[in-house]
Amino acid sequence: MTDVTAPTGKVSAQSNTVFAIILAVSFCHMLNDIMQSLLAAIYPMLKSDFGLSFWQIGMLTLAFQVTASLLQPLVGIYTDKRPLPYSLTLGMGSSMIGLFLLATAHTYWMLVVGACFIGVGSSIFHPESSRVARLASGGRFGLAQSLFQVGGNFGQALGPLLAAFIVVPMGQGSVGYFSVAAMLGMVILWRVGNWYGSHLRAAAKRPKAPISVNLPRRTIMLALVVLTLLTFSKNIYTASISSYYTFYVIERFGVDVQMSQYLLFVFLGATALGTVLGGPIGDRFGAKFVIWFSILGVLPFTLALPYVDLTWTIILSGIIGLILASAFPAIVVFAQELLPGRVGMVAGIFFGFAFGMGGIAAAVLGVLADAKGIEYVYWVCSFMPLLGLLTIFLPSEKVLRAKTVHA
């Protein structure tokens, strides 16, 4: 099967950005992540209804995210060789099954199985939809990646609001109503699959020029390790917010469950805006600049967060979400430049690693919260952005582009 990776480098005069396709996969990313975020958004309700501990809450997140983490790289590696245009519809269908299980679960283990089905849906959706966004980018990789990812950020932000307005008042069974969104996503992704299949058939008829990066293998491996560690630092902090922020503001400031969902929306909405800004800024100033600013620039705000009152907690969480979220599109684009021709594998590894580290972190932080308290968790996590200093070991983009060879 033809390698469908878009070439690296500048946009050619003949390149066209297919915004209809990018926006379609971004919209479906939003639907996918609304379904995903519902799980974390209803944690307070599940904790009360099922009598769960923080450790069990962490295990639910682990079941979802590690399922996605383990499968995403495998899906990406396979589809680099054999792209599967209609697998996107299949992934959305798996998430829909997960929703039904969450809506009808009567035992803790049914909740775990439902979380796993949603994780499988994510593992199929993310590598292939990221590839589709890159194919439709016309060479504007940062813009396409940020538009694709912002759909997911909006979905994560909307999930808690929808939970507050629908699930909390109406109960667990109302989670099943969101299957309508899954069915809509399946229809849209079937149309995207038609475009993707046509693109593959057209690409198979054209001669392709192999692309390689003429950098020492050790340099490439070091850069990938650094990018992985940066993703690690970002997602541990994100996990502390997405899984436990509602509990934090309830315990520390005495707000009710519904208000805690609104406060979580502030953080998640800010991450959506940060993702939108990160891609175009990366196209203009370079991915490495965005990584420096995003991962390390957020440090003063994370260090201050455990010590401030409710008003400043809301303000700082918004600032943190805005700055921190801009890093991930840049990290993915940088990794794809290091490994041209491996778009699916890179997307699978980094999206999978993001989910996996978030899941492992959620489980560990849950144990830590049970032992030391939720406020202690936020104090420990405030130091994670210090790992942003590792960015110094990344090669400059000028060197990377100079070493990219079109054979």
Q: Which tokens sit at 362?
A: 């959620």
CATH of the domain at 279: 1.20.1250.20
The pLDDT assigned to 185 comes to 92
For the residues of 293-338, what is the DSSP string, one character each? IIIIHTHHHHHHGGGS-HHHHHHHHHHHHHHHHTHHHHHHHHHHHH
Does residue 343 contact residue 5 with C-beta atoms inside 8 Å? Answer: yes
Instruction: Judge whether 7 lies within some domain.
Output: no
For the stretch 376-390, pLDDT in tens is 888 988 888 888 888
Instruction: Judge whether 364 lies within some domain.
Output: yes
Instruction: Judge whether 52 lies within some domain.
Output: yes
Instruction: Judge whether 198 lies within some domain.
Output: yes
Question: Between β-strands 211-213 and 404-406, what pairing exists: parallel, antiparallel or unpaired?
Answer: antiparallel
The pLDDT assigned to 303 comes to 93
Cα–Cα distances (Å) from 384 to 59, 250, 306, 402, in that order, read 22, 23, 14, 33
The pLDDT assigned to 401 comes to 61
Instruction: Judge whether 227 lies within some domain.
Output: yes
For the residues of 186-240, what is the DSSP string, one character each? HHHHHHHHHHHHHHHHHHHTS----EEE-S-HHHHHHHHHHHHHHHHHHHHHHHH
Does residue 376 contact residue 368 with C-beta atoms inside 8 Å? Answer: yes
Residue 351's nearest CA partner among 257, 231, 266, 260 is: 231
Does residue 283 contact residue 143 with C-beta atoms inside 8 Å? Answer: yes
Instruction: Judge whether 10 lies within some domain.
Output: no
Does residue 237 contact residue 324 with C-beta atoms inside 8 Å? Answer: yes
Does residue 58 contact residue 362 with C-beta atoms inside 8 Å? Answer: yes
The pLDDT assigned to 308 comes to 93
Q: Please, what are the averages of pLDDT over each run of 10 residues along the chain (407 residues)?
A: 40 59 92 82 81 84 78 81 85 90 88 90 85 83 81 77 80 83 92 88 66 72 86 80 82 85 82 78 79 84 92 92 82 81 76 68 81 87 85 76 52
Q: Which tokens sit at 361?
A: 């972190």
The pLDDT assigned to 94 comes to 92
The pLDDT assigned to 384 comes to 84
For the stretch 295-325, pLDDT in tens is 778 889 999 999 999 999 999 999 998 888 8
Q: Which domain holds residue 343?
A: 19-406
What residues contact residue 171 under an 8 Å CB cut-off, 6+ apart?
none
The pLDDT assigned to 36 comes to 80
Instruction: Judge whether 191 lies within some domain.
Output: yes
Does residue 198 contact residue 76 with C-beta atoms inside 8 Å? Answer: no
Q: For 113-135, b where at least 16 C-beta lie within 10 A, e where not — what string?
A: ebbbbbbbbbbbbbbbbbbbbbb
Q: Dmax of the chain from CA atoms? A: 64
Residue 201's nearest CA partner among 29, 2, 40 is: 2
Instruction: Judge whether 185 lies within some domain.
Output: yes
Q: What gap in Å lies between CA 390 and CA 292, rounded to an integer?
A: 9
Domains of the chain: total: 1
SS3 403: coil
Phi, psi of 404 (to 5 degrees): -80, 125
Phi, psi of 248 (to 5 degrees): -60, -50
Does residue 69 contact residue 235 with C-beta atoms inside 8 Å? Answer: no
